[in-house]
Structure 1
Amino acid sequence: MTPTTLLDALNWRYATKVFDPKQTISGEHWDTIEESLLLTPSSFGLQPWKFIVVTDPEVKKQLLPHSWNQQQVVDCSHLVVLAAQGPIGDAELDAFIDKTHAERGGDKESLQFYRDLMGGFIAKMNDAQLITWAKNQVYIALGQLMASAAILKIDACPMEGISPTEYDKILGLDGSGYFTTVACPMGYRSTDDKYAHLPKVRYSKEQVIQHS
C-alpha cells in the first residue's frame, strides 16, 4: 500500500447515513474485519472488550428504537456493538498472563514483574474509573475498525446515539461484565446518500498538529 492509497481510502470514508440494504459484506471481507479487531492494540495488551456482531434482522429491529431510530441499524449488512469489560481485576490479569505464557512459552515466573505492574495500575482506580478506562480502550478498537473498513471499501457509521442499557438487555450482556459503549453499522452506501459526495470539513494541519 502506498501513502496515496491510504489517504485515498481515508478520504473516501465518511459516516454513512444511508446503507443499501440489498448489499451484504462477503464472508472473506468480514473475516478480515474481525481479524483486524483482534489485532487492535490496548493498554498492557489486556483487551478489555467484546465485539458483538449483529446480522439477525429481528435483533436489529429490536435495537432500532434504542438507536434514536437511526435507519442505519437495520439497513446495514453487519452491526458491530463494541462493549467494554469492567471492572477488571486479578482474575483477568491472571488469565492474560496465562495466555501470554501459552503463546510465548519460556519461564512463567519471568512474567511476574509485568503481572505486578498491571496490578499496581488497576489498584490505583476504583470500579467506575476502571470501566471508564476500558471504554476508552474500546474507542481504539473503533478507530481500527473504521480504518480497516475504509481500506477494504466497506462503509461504516460510528454511532454513540444509542441507549447502552437497552442494548445490554437485548444482546444479553446484563450481568456478563461487559457494557455496550458504541455501535458501528457497516455495509455499503446507498446511491441515495447525499452525504457521500460532500467535501470533508477538517481544520488545517497547522491548527491541529504541533511539532516540538
Structure 2
Amino acid sequence: MGTLKTNETNAEVKKEILSAFEFRHATKEFDSSRKISDEDFQFILETGRLSPSSFGFEPWRFVVVQNPELREKLRLHAWGAQKQLPTASHFVLILSRQPKDLAADSSFIGGMMRDVQQLPPAVAEGKQKVYDTFLNDDFGLRGNERAQFEWGARQTYLALGNMMTSAALIGIDSCPIEGFDKEKIEQTLEAEGILDREHFGIACMVAFGYRIHEPRGKTRQTADQVIQWV
C-alpha cells in the first residue's frame, strides 16, 4: 500500500512539473499592475542560489533591478527587453565571474574551497590541480579569455533555468533575455557603481511577473527528433 501511495504521489508530482513546463513561455510583456510577493520572489532567488555549478564554484551574482530610472537606462541597450523592462514585476541581471577569478590559483577559487566548501588543505590542493587540468587541458581554455568567460556564463544558465522553472511551478511568468549590447550594458552598470568589471561581466537577463496576454500554443520538435538512444 505504501508503494502504491508513493507511485500515485510521484505521478502527481510529474504531472505538476510537466504542467509548469507547458505553462512557462517567454513572456514579452507583463501586467505592470501585478507584483510578485516578497516571499515568492525570495523562493525564486533561493532556487537560483541552490543551483549546481561546475566544481561547485558558483561563478554567479544575481542583481535585482527594481529602480525605474536604471531600468530605462538599461532599455537603451537591451533590444530584447523593450517591453519586459518597463512592465516586469522583478528584473534580474545574472553576472558571471571574469576569467581571472575562475583561474585555478585565484583568490576566489581558493576562498570558495576554504571558506564555502570548507575543504581540508590537502583536499583543496588536490581539487585545485584537477580543476586546473580540466580548464586548460580537458576543455582547452588556456589563453582564451572569452571562452573562459563563456564557460562561467554557462554555469549561470543552470541557475537561470531553475529560477524560471520554480517560478512557473507557482504560477509566475518569466522571460530569459540575451538581446542586449554587452559592452554598453556593462558600461552603464559600471557607471552606476553596480558592476566591478574586473571581477564580473553580464551573462544574461531574466524578467519575472504576470502575463498580460495569453501565449500561442507551445511548439517543440518531437521526442524522436531530439532524443537519441544508443
TM-score by length of 1: 0.89
Match of 2:24 in 1: 13
Q: What is the number of equivalent residue pairs in this alignment? A: 205
Q: 1:122 aligns with which of 135, 138, 143?
A: 135
Q: 1:184 aligns with which of 206, 213, 219?
A: 206
The answer to whether 1:93 aligns with 2:109 is: yes
Counterpart CA distance in 1 for 2:28 and 2:147 is 33
> Percent same amino acid at aligned positions?
32
- Report matched runs for 1:27-176 at 5 Å: 27-68=38-79, 70-87=82-99, 88-89=102-103, 90=105, 91-102=107-118, 107-124=120-137, 125=141, 126=143, 127-172=145-190, 173-176=195-198
Alpha-carbon offset, residue 176 of structure 1: 3.7
Counterpart CA distance in 2 for 1:128 and 1:159 is 20
Counterpart CA distance in 2 for 1:20 and 1:165 is 30
Cα distance per residue 1:58-93 (max 9 Å; x no partner): 111111121116111111011111111110222222
TM-score by length of 2: 0.83
Counterpart CA distance in 2 for 1:197 and 1:71 is 15
Q: 2:225 aligns to what SS in structure 1?
A: helix
Alpha-carbon offset, residue 97 of structure 1: 1.1
- Which stretch shifts more, 131-140 or 7-16? 131-140
Letter in 1 for 2:164: M
Letter in 2 for 1:73: L
Displaced runs of 4 or more, over 6 A? none
The answer to whether 1:25 aligns with 2:36 is: yes
CA RMSD of aligned residues (A): 1.7
Residues 101/18 of structure 1: CA separation in 2 closer, same or farther (3 Å cut): closer
Residues 174/165 of structure 1: CA separation in 2 closer, same or farther (3 Å cut): farther
Counterpart CA distance in 1 for 2:161 and 2:75 is 23
Counterpart CA distance in 1 for 2:121 and 2:66 is 41
Q: 1:66 aligns to what SS in structure 2?
A: coil
